Structure formats: structure tokens, C-alpha cells
Chains A and B, each alone.
Chain A
């Protein structure tokens, strides 16, 4: 098998699978990038010329636990054009299979499997090298879509806004000044969606859609709450409210962002920031 010099990203929450595949890849003179965290996997995808992704999916009792792995698959499928992805499942699961096929995987294995078969499968794939920037160029576009869903937990907020900041900077390195205000606005609106929209209900999700093109960045944040009356927000600068220690998120966001639009009764907010040429 010839995979010499190829960069292969391996993600799995279990170290044994990571080690097993990594050592096989090393024996075949390719370079394994192994990680058990999604954020690091995305980081590697952004910064290394990855040729192939191998993703281990565990067997979870709770269906929601799969969301992390599906989330990564989705991100790969949406943002990293033509990235071949092989999935290794802990146990065969029809529902998981449906989901992963929908997200464009090229092959799947169920544990235990013969490592040589994985090698043969890798060989079949036409590996093609390209960093994210090259992939974007080849697609003849400077636009990018990023979608992610998070649980209603404020601990995810920083990771999401930082990921978006990294993606913007990868595509438009000259917009460093605008990045901080975009990050602040995303943080404010995600906190609102989690705390006021979904009221921290872990069964409710917050969807983030991010789109960048040559002139602007658009971020759409949707929660599963009841919405709110965005036309009658209290003015935090009025004497009655000025000493309140909350209620300024939207006010500040409007300072930092060029356009703020509401949809779905306030459950969905669209932020548009124009980028300098």
C-alpha cells in the first residue's frame, strides 16, 4: 500500500483506536494527526494539509451523545471540500449509518476490523492534497459556510466564536480589527440564545449558521425558545434601567455590527458585518 507522505487526521474519543490506527499509518510512511477532541480536530483541519480523515464513532446509549461526532462530520462535509472521510463504528448502528452516509463518507468499518482492509480502502481513495485555502481556490470561491449546533450551555460559547474567528482569518487575514467586534457580537447573541431563549434547557439547541463572502460576514443564530418582543426592548440608557447589571447585549451588538435583523418572532437573529476591501 502506498500512502507515503500523506497527512491523515484521526479522531476518536478512545485512545486505543487512535494508537492502533496511528501506528499502522506510521508503518506505512504516512503522517498521523491523532486527536480525541473536536476542537483540536478542526484546528488540525484548518492548519495542516490533511488528505484524509478517519473518524471513530463510539457506541452511545444516549442518541444525543453522537452529536459531537456528527457535528465534526458535518463541519468537514460543509467546509472542507472533497475531504475523503472514513468512519469506524464501535458497533453497527443503522441510524448512525444513515447519518454518516448523508454526510458524505467514503467508507465505513465496524469494530473489530482488519487493519489491512482499512489500508485497501484508503488506497482506493484518490487522495488529493490541499489546505483549506487551496480547497477554496479550487472551488473558485472565496465564500464559506459553517454550520454548528450547540447544547444550551454557555461553556460552548467561546469555542464557537473562536472557531468562527479562525475561519474568517484563514480566508481574510486582513480583517484582524473587525474580528474582535464580530467575536463580541457572537458571544452576546449566543449568551442571549442560551440564557434567555432556551433558558439553559439542555434539550434545546442553538443553531449557528455562518457565511462569509468577499464583502461581508453573516451570522445567523437560532434558538428554540419562545422569542421576544424585539421592537419593545427597554432602553438601557434610561434612568430607570441604567443601574441594571444586565440587558445591554443587544445594545452593544448593534454598536459593533452593521446590520441586526430578527426573524421567527425573535428566535432567530441575523448579524451582518461588512469587511473592508
Chain B
């Protein structure tokens, strides 16, 4: 199955959470490799991170994966993934060309 790229919204917080969750769950169901593109995202809440982790776990269980695109210029999101050490859990690419 082809890669399934999900473009994340600029701010993944309360109002956006349900939609983000649904998009990700649907993608994991239908694709082996889901890529979440954080190019435009500046803010992600703890529920958003929780949804990413649970999607990764579901994907791994069926032999798939969830990878991320975070451009090196996106300091806000890079910092979050570094501090939470989720950069060790997810495979992170800095652009679509690198995938």
C-alpha cells in the first residue's frame, strides 16, 4: 500500500483533536506507512501527542509505522519532540524529499 501523508494543522489543540484523531486512525487502518507532516504545525497539546503514540502502536502491531516530517526550521515542534524524547520513538524526516 502507498504512503499516506497527513498534513497536520498549525495548532493541534482542543478544537482540532477529534479530527486529528479520526484522520490518523483512518490512515493507520488503510495504509502500512502513515506520514504526518508537521511543516505548518507550531503547537501540539498532550492529547495530540497521545494520539500520535497510540497510532504508532496500532501501526506497529500490524507491521506498519507512523513517521513524521518536521522541517529543521520548525523549532517549536522539534523542541517538543526532543524534550519529550519522542524523537527516539518516531522516525523523523526534515522534508518530503527525504522520505
Contact = CB atoms under 8 A, between A and B. Distances in A.
Contacts of A181: 43
A184 B88 CA distance: 24
Interface residues of A, number: 24
Contact of A180 (B43, B49, B57, B85): B43
A242 B79 CA distance: 16
24 contacts: A183-B13, A184-B43, A187-B13, A187-B14, A187-B45, A188-B46, A191-B47, A236-B84, A237-B85, A242-B85, A243-B53, A244-B53, A245-B54, A246-B50, A248-B49, A248-B50, A249-B45, A251-B46, A252-B45, A252-B49, A252-B84, A255-B79, A255-B80, A255-B83
B contact face: mostly helix, strand, loop, or mixed: helix
Contacts of A191: 14, 47
A157 interface: yes
Nearest to A191: B47
Contacts of B99: none
B1 interface: no
Interface residues of B, number: 23
Contact of A243 (B46, B57, B83): B57
Contacts of B53: 243-245
B32 to A, nearest CB: 20
Interface in A139-155: 154
B18 to A, nearest CB: 11
Interface of A: 154, 157-158, 161, 180-181, 183-184, 187-188, 191, 236-237, 242-249, 251-252, 255
B98 interface: no
B21 to A, nearest CB: 11
Query: Counting chain A CB atoms within 10 Å of each CB, which of B45, B80, B86 scores highest?
Result: B45
B9 interface: no
B26 interface: no
Contact of A246 (B46, B84, B86): B46
A155 to B, nearest CB: 10
A47 to B, nearest CB: 21
Query: Counting chain A CB atoms within 10 Å of each CB, which of B14, B49, B53, B54 scores highest?
Result: B14
A243 B86 CA distance: 9
Nearest to A180: B43
B51 interface: yes
Given A242-B89, A243-B89, A245-B51, A251 B43 contact: no
